[in-house]
Structure 1
Amino acid sequence: MLDVLPAPPPNFHSRLESDRYSAGTKSVLIKNATIWTGGDDGHEIVHGEVVLDKGIVKYVGSRAPASLLDSLSDLEEFNVQGAWVSPGIVDLHSHLGVYSVPSLSGASDGNSRKGPVLPWLRSLDALNTHDDAYRLSISGGITTAVVLPGSANAIGGQAFAIKLRPTAERSPTSMLLEPPFGINGSEVDPTLPPRWRLLKQACGENPSRVYSGTRMDTIWAFRQGYETARKIKVSQDAYCSSALSGHWEGLGEFPEDLQWEALVDVLRGRVKIQNHCYETVDLDDIVRLSNEFKFPIAAFHHAHETYLVPETLKRAYGHPPAIAMFATNARYKRESYRGSEFAPRILADEGLKVVMKSDHPVLNSRYLLYEAQQAHYYGLPANLAMAAVTTTPAEVMGMGHRVGYLKKGVVWDSHPLSLGATPKQVYIDGIAQLSHPHTTPKPPSFQHLPKTPNFDKETSDALKYEGLPPLEPREKLELADVAFTRVGSVYVRDPKSRNGIRELYGRDGEEGVVFVRNGTVICADQINGSDNCMDKFMTSFTRVVDLAGGSIAPGLVAYGSPLALHEIQGEASTADGYVFDALEEEVPKIVGGEYSVIRAVDGLQYATRDALIAYRAGVTTGVTPPKSAGFFSGLSTAFSTGSAHKLEKGAVIQEVAAFHVSVGHGGNGAPSVSTQIAVLRRLLVGEVGGEMGEWIGEVKSGKIPLVINVESADVMATLIKLKEEVETEIGETIKVTFTGASEAHLLAKEIGAAGVGVILTPSRPFPQTWEQRRILPGPPLTEHNAVSLLLGHNVTVGIGIPENWAARNIRFDAAWAALEAKGDLSKTDTLALASVNLEKLLGVSVPTYEGDLVATWGGDLLEFESKVVGIVSPSKGIVDLI
């Protein structure tokens, strides 16, 4: 049996009960469903019924046979009224349970530091069943995850596929999908084909950094390990050859080594290798390694440069690897700098399999489907986008006979590729996982596949420029007249309106014209039978831009990440660096000592790729404080994301915006929370000298806000009391904004009464740390999300982003928040979350007539079907065509 390849048992597809069936589980009939089955290369859609019984799907089709239904004694019916039903979401790259949530030092088991090649380690042996993320991930439709060791080793160990539902046994073993060998009674019949195994490999920066080596060292470590395994395999083959020939005399024991048996199985083609690998040099190294030792690679993960070298991938031994990647998360280290949002489309066009993955908790796997939605938005065909989180990862991990097709199901409240699609129910092993799901009816348009904008040129440029295409506007129109035609809606700043934004006209079937002269809107009319703007201002020199029913809206604001303070997160040489923190170190006198104040404006870097990509997505302003790892940060600044350098007109919008500090749990000798509060109290009511005293004076007089990064509701409560104490002492009202604010919903009423604003960063919460563990997750787990709950208590709310790459997605974050708000947010309310509310909370004063506007083609700024095509900047006197 040594050369028999893995396969399901011969009778697998005729089984009547799953080996994971939980006794007492009721049968389920899902009626009136629109079913994406995963069949016909992802094109099969069935309108009808699904029957779940004894942990497996017994029927998918137009109408379940009466004989089948009559045979089910305890049947629950679920009429989904036309809703979409899909296979459960499969995450091919997760660290769920080994990098635990919340992150605690006693529950972080992703890697060993015992050497570069460790194929004998197993992620199963570190799987924490008490991780807070299981429930959250299930609520996003995740039913199956491959739990990988980390990437600090060239070979980090064996991975295991798990089902996320809680079991009666409560053990890691009971979560296994299909153990590849005997574990606690789950024995494998040695006369049948074996089951697939999974192994994690990594190359490039990560293992080189951990073991202070180079790429050459890492590849040599690979070769040493595989040569050891090759010799064992040769001796095993010789043993069996002798035995099969009847030459038993002196043969001895079968040659094997427990440490190396997993690599021997790799050489026998029985292991699905999941290989962390980014750059061309590393991809080429592993392809050569696969051919040298003759083993296939199941998938390259992260793989940001794979779209540039498809022919290299096709030369891998056995078959081309699949590519498991993020949609838009890139440029966080050198290896990912050439990452492109068009990579999934390009790879699919080359005939390569595409998988979207989370790398949980790098991305919250609850929103893995969002990665597929973004990939579709940027051009991956719908059938492949859905397959990228269902059928393709299932096949790549060797489990397509069990998951990825309609065997475990999710009932969605809208089309799965529409923004914010949320499970109405999730079934794992035939068991409903959401006890009291909360969903909000979506607009009818969300029940249909979104139309994707045309990104043909951008896709071509990604290849032409090897991942670094020009990001500057294609045209800067200065001192020019521009007429935007077929405008479906117009939203403008208006300080007299309830939320600071006014709708000039919206989608009532009429389209209009917006006329811009020298970067300023001078006319905006619906047509209504006469082209007033066109009649008044149109000349032969006017540039006409057709928006095809699109929109004009205020530019968005990015806050929460060090946008424009570093280019590559993992490269210190590209960053402004961190400020001194007087609570943890001595601040040099030449800087100003303990009362020095650092200004972010002095460290700004313009034309960073993340800033320019954000600009192309309608984010025209960035606000950032100095980078800090402690209590003190300094003075934030507001800048134009689309400017080339600081001396350009309008590049610095406001030199100083707000005064920033952080209050929270630190550890490792960091000052206590009570110490931080004492310092803040002294700053606000005591005598403080130097530059610090001057800027605290500005805070105390209400001229600039005090922005406090804080996660814990307990700390927020103390800060609210401190604000009251300070205001009583000084006789003035101070402006305070909480950022981060994962637990702010617990004090929504008190925060509103105290007049404190909140910037939720991120807008969809995740309990990454202990202070963030009491999140309000939103639908389907809770009726409300934090945005709507805070707004309901008269809190001014903005939304932020924790990392630079995410700035481009702010418009979708705002739209998603509104979709979860049960219809309570208007378009203007939603736009305000990511624009004027942030300016107010961060002390940025933008005159109404100077605020940037964004022009979108095909829909408004909040819609998945729209594309940003222009920026109107009155302060610069230009229109940028994107």
Structure 2
Amino acid sequence: MVNYLCPSLSGENPSRVYSDTRMDTIWAFREAYNKAAQIKKQQDDFCARAEAGDFEGLGDFPHDLKWEALVDVLRGRVKVNIHCYEAVDLDALVRLSNEFKFPIAAFHHAMETYLVPDLLKKAYGNTPAVALFATNARYKREAYRASEFAPKILAEHGIRVTMKSDHPVLDSRHLLYEAQQAHFYGLPDNLAIAAVTSNSAEVMGMGHRIGYLKVGWDADVVIWDSHPLALGATPVQVFIDGIQQLYDPYVISKPEAFQETPKVPNFDKEAHEAVKYQGLPPLTPKTSSAETVIFTNVKSVFTRSGAGVRKLFSFEEKGALGDVVRSGKITCSGQCVKDHFVENADVLVVDLEGGSIFPALVSFGAPLGLEAINQEPSTNDGNVFDPLMSPVPSILGGDSAVVRAVDGLQYNTRDALLAYRGGVTTAITAPSHRKFFSGLSTMFSTGASHKLEEGAIIQEVTGLHFSVRHFGSPSVSTQIAVLRRLLLNPPEGDLGEQLKLVLQRVMPLVVEAHSADVIATLILLKKEIEYQKGFSIKLTVTGASEAHLLAKELGEAEVGVILNPPRLFPHVWEDVRILAGPPLTEHNAITKLVAENVTVGIGNLEIWSARSTRFDVAWASLEADGKLSKEQAIALASKNLEDLLGAKIDDEETDLVATTSGDLFELNAKVVAVVSPKRASVDLF
């Protein structure tokens, strides 16, 4: 059988590109398949006459290149893969498959398939496979009902699941990470591995030669340094057609436990609710009404300190019982817990089963709080006016106007609440922009219901944000010239007042830059400003794909760096010189910068990925191969981020997160509570 991929689109994509309605799209499909069916019948009639020896007036074989692929679809010679999201479109295409009698190999993206598994089984010929993402969701309305439990639910209905990338939004290099997350959220280990190996091969019609380790199959083999489903699993060697691909790979020493199938939490209740609520289960946290909450069987406690993050206790070593929390604050740790088990007292006991308590994480880079659905303008704050691109309206204050992200905050968005439930209880967000100028960022609680709630706004203004990149127009040199002029001669108005705060080191100047050449220019600009003004300024570079090339210079200049994304990817030319990390290099960007005393933070490029910050922290720790302690890794997405972005938070006022069955570095750990001193509360999940 000849196998092709025949991608089809249904739903929002053709509507956006071709201005078609759903009725237009399905009618176009039916019209096309009907035409193909007519040609197929003409060909069959031709062949029947030829085989019967009836050549009189037979003419040429009926053929139309335009419809050749669809005719072969109807003959079962071409596999159909369909890009489709919602149940209404899935239904239309299942009906189409039965009307014209062709099988569907797989539905891709397919966010709502887990809500209608029985519908998929009605497709012609066989049940289509589903190729989807682990957590990538809500970027458009069609993806709003996506669930991290979809792979688990589909597998339970006997439907073949494959995990996919969406390069470069989801980096194909880390396709295995999709399988790891799917396993974390309930997909059995054997099916999670199959979802990126044998299932994918079978869906493509290539299961007879790839996707399995069998005699006679293509010799494409990866040897991993740990179990493939263990977070951060890294290739030790890759063979393609039996040929070794890596020479002198840097091999990380992983803990023994990483060689076994990782244990994961039980999400049966959450998966049930995902279906029960049609993809939109309640996410609002429930606050404990008890005066005192006692966490027992605590394995370790990490807390914030002036210098960063430190381990307060390791209870396995000390044999202590746990923690007591009153009014959102830990009041005692260790054996003193026994004194609080008083009969008839208002006490809630939470057994962490060997879990951990650690400082809550912070998200930066993703527009948390400024959008609910990326591609739906009515759900977003929108982009600021950029004085380098066009005149700013005088009613706003003209070119000296500065927009504050705090004014456009939206609360109770699903991405923010999912981040909160993942231990990311605060976010620092700058105004959305297209090019050079952004404005003033803000810090807020991801678990708050509205802006007027106590603790909803943690700090109204944190830093002043710009971006210097290769946009084409205006030029990089123009952007630098504007920054120089603004800093040396702050204009009148709001912008000038904010720049004076930068020059007084009250707030940081935060500049997105990726190219090492632009970063070098920013270092020189900082030195120029400091020489001219006679005092230092606080500069933070975000994005920073090529910052590792200037690690020593950044450290000497006291310029902080926020890597975003934390596992760098060369999206465009100015990102091209990334440091790959193991197995290709010993160092990655984080360890290279930390070694030169650069304060480093990590951000989230996509809004839906904020919830997975704990995995980014754990991955950074693992890939550092001992060059980064757990305390330093936690600081990457908490204390360091706050310092780099101008957040001035009392260590005793920061949230704490409790996990069961392990710490945030372990896949079997599940976030079960957020302890908030500022709000004097304990939220339970």
> 2:287 corresponds to which residue?
476
The range that moved more, 562-571 or 222-231, is 222-231
> 1:657 corresponds to which residue?
462
Question: Which of 236, 239, 243 does residue 431 from structure 1 map onto?
Answer: 243
Whether the aligned pair in 1 keeps the contact of 2:303 and 2:359 (CA below 8 Å) is yes
Structure 1 residue 250, shift from structure 2 partner: 2.3
Asked if 1:613 is matched to 2:418, the reply is yes
Consecutive unaligned residues in structure 1, runs of 5 or more: 1-5, 7-194, 526-530
Q: What are the within-5 Å matches in structure 2 for residues 551-590 of structure 1?
A: 551-590=356-395
Q: What are the within-5 Å matches in structure 2 for residues 612-651 of structure 1?
A: 612-651=417-456
Distance 1:539 1:628, change over 3 A: farther
> 2:664 corresponds to which residue?
861
2:404 and 2:280 map into 1 onto residues whose CA distance is 31
Distance 1:330 1:502, change over 3 A: same
Aligned amino acid, residue 599 of structure 1: R
> 1:487 corresponds to which residue?
298
1:538 and 1:603 map into 2 onto residues whose CA distance is 47
Question: Which of 604, 613, 623 does residue 409 from structure 2 map onto?
Answer: 604
> 1:464 corresponds to which residue?
276
> 2:11 corresponds to which residue?
204
> 2:614 corresponds to which residue?
811
Distance 1:792 1:333, change over 3 A: same
Q: Deviations over 1:545-598 (max 9, x none)?
A: 000000000000000011010000010110000000001111001101000110
Question: Which of 587, 590, 593 does residue 787 from structure 1 map onto?
Answer: 590
Question: Which of 242, 245, 254 does residue 52 from structure 2 map onto?
Answer: 245
Structure 1 residue 827, shift from structure 2 partner: 1.0
> 1:27 corresponds to which residue?
none
Structure 1 residue 506, shift from structure 2 partner: 5.8
Report the TM-score, using the length of structure 1 for normalisation.
0.76
Aligned amino acid, residue 581 of structure 1: D
> 2:529 corresponds to which residue?
726
Asked if 1:415 is matched to 2:218, the reply is no
Match of 1:445, SS? helix
Structure 1 residue 508, shift from structure 2 partner: 3.6
Match of 1:491, SS? strand
1:829 and 1:508 map into 2 onto residues whose CA distance is 21
Question: Which of 205, 222, 245 does residue 398 from structure 1 map onto?
Answer: 205
Asked if 1:520 is matched to 2:329, the reply is yes
Structure 1 residue 826, shift from structure 2 partner: 1.1
Whether the aligned pair in 2 keeps the contact of 1:478 and 1:519 (CA below 8 Å) is no
Q: Deviations over 1:491-538 (max 9, x none)?
A: 01111x4x343433265484531000011110111xxxxx32221564
Match of 1:810, SS? helix
Match of 1:260, SS? helix
Aligned amino acid, residue 392 of structure 2: V
Whether the aligned pair in 1 keeps the contact of 2:176 and 2:196 (CA below 8 Å) is yes
Match of 2:466, SS? strand
Match of 2:66, SS? coil
Aligned amino acid, residue 565 of structure 1: L
> 1:346 corresponds to which residue?
153
Q: Deviations over 1:793-820 (max 9, x none)?
A: 0000000011110001101001111111
Q: Deviations over 1:735-767 (max 9, x none)?
A: 110000000001000001000000000000000
> 1:881 corresponds to which residue?
684
2:440 and 2:523 map into 1 onto residues whose CA distance is 22
Aligned amino acid, residue 491 of structure 1: F
Whether the aligned pair in 2 keeps the contact of 1:632 and 1:660 (CA below 8 Å) is yes
Aligned amino acid, residue 771 of structure 1: E
Q: What are the within-5 Å matches in structure 2 for residues 129-278 of structure 1?
A: 195-278=2-85
Identity of aligned residues (%): 61
> 1:147 corresponds to which residue?
none
> 1:148 corresponds to which residue?
none
The range that moved more, 539-548 or 790-799, is 539-548
Asked if 1:709 is matched to 2:512, the reply is yes
Aligned amino acid, residue 369 of structure 2: A
Aligned amino acid, residue 846 of structure 1: I
Whether the aligned pair in 1 keeps the contact of 2:309 and 2:634 (CA below 8 Å) is no
Whether the aligned pair in 2 keeps the contact of 1:479 and 1:517 (CA below 8 Å) is no
Aligned amino acid, residue 586 of structure 1: P
Aligned amino acid, residue 606 of structure 2: E
Match of 2:71, SS? helix
Whether the aligned pair in 2 keeps the contact of 1:488 and 1:512 (CA below 8 Å) is no
Structure 1 residue 687, shift from structure 2 partner: 3.8
Whether the aligned pair in 2 keeps the contact of 1:288 and 1:316 (CA below 8 Å) is yes
Structure 1 residue 675, shift from structure 2 partner: 0.7
> 1:592 corresponds to which residue?
397
Structure 1 residue 246, shift from structure 2 partner: 2.0
The range that moved more, 844-853 or 503-512, is 503-512
Q: What are the within-5 Å matches in structure 2 for residues 671-690 of structure 1?
A: 671-690=474-493
1:478 and 1:842 map into 2 onto residues whose CA distance is 34
2:314 and 2:501 map into 1 onto residues whose CA distance is 40
Whether the aligned pair in 1 keeps the contact of 2:11 and 2:22 (CA below 8 Å) is yes
1:685 and 1:755 map into 2 onto residues whose CA distance is 20
Structure 1 residue 839, shift from structure 2 partner: 0.5
Whether the aligned pair in 2 keeps the contact of 1:372 and 1:388 (CA below 8 Å) is yes
1:687 and 1:551 map into 2 onto residues whose CA distance is 48
The range that moved more, 506-515 or 856-865, is 506-515
1:614 and 1:742 map into 2 onto residues whose CA distance is 25
> 1:738 corresponds to which residue?
541
Asked if 1:760 is matched to 2:571, the reply is no
Question: Which of 652, 660, 678 does residue 849 from structure 1 map onto?
Answer: 652
Match of 2:142, SS? helix
1:225 and 1:543 map into 2 onto residues whose CA distance is 64
Whether the aligned pair in 1 keeps the contact of 2:374 and 2:380 (CA below 8 Å) is yes
Whether the aligned pair in 2 keeps the contact of 1:479 and 1:877 (CA below 8 Å) is no
1:324 and 1:785 map into 2 onto residues whose CA distance is 31
Aligned amino acid, residue 211 of structure 1: Y
Whether the aligned pair in 2 keeps the contact of 1:324 and 1:357 (CA below 8 Å) is yes
Asked if 1:322 is matched to 2:126, the reply is no
CA RMSD of superposed structures (Å):
1.1
Aligned pairs, how many?
679
> 2:103 corresponds to which residue?
296
Q: Deviations over 1:653-688 (max 9, x none)?
A: 000000000001102xx2111111111011111141
1:346 and 1:764 map into 2 onto residues whose CA distance is 30
Whether the aligned pair in 2 keeps the contact of 1:737 and 1:757 (CA below 8 Å) is yes
> 2:259 corresponds to which residue?
447
The range that moved more, 248-257 or 609-618, is 248-257
1:551 and 1:500 map into 2 onto residues whose CA distance is 14
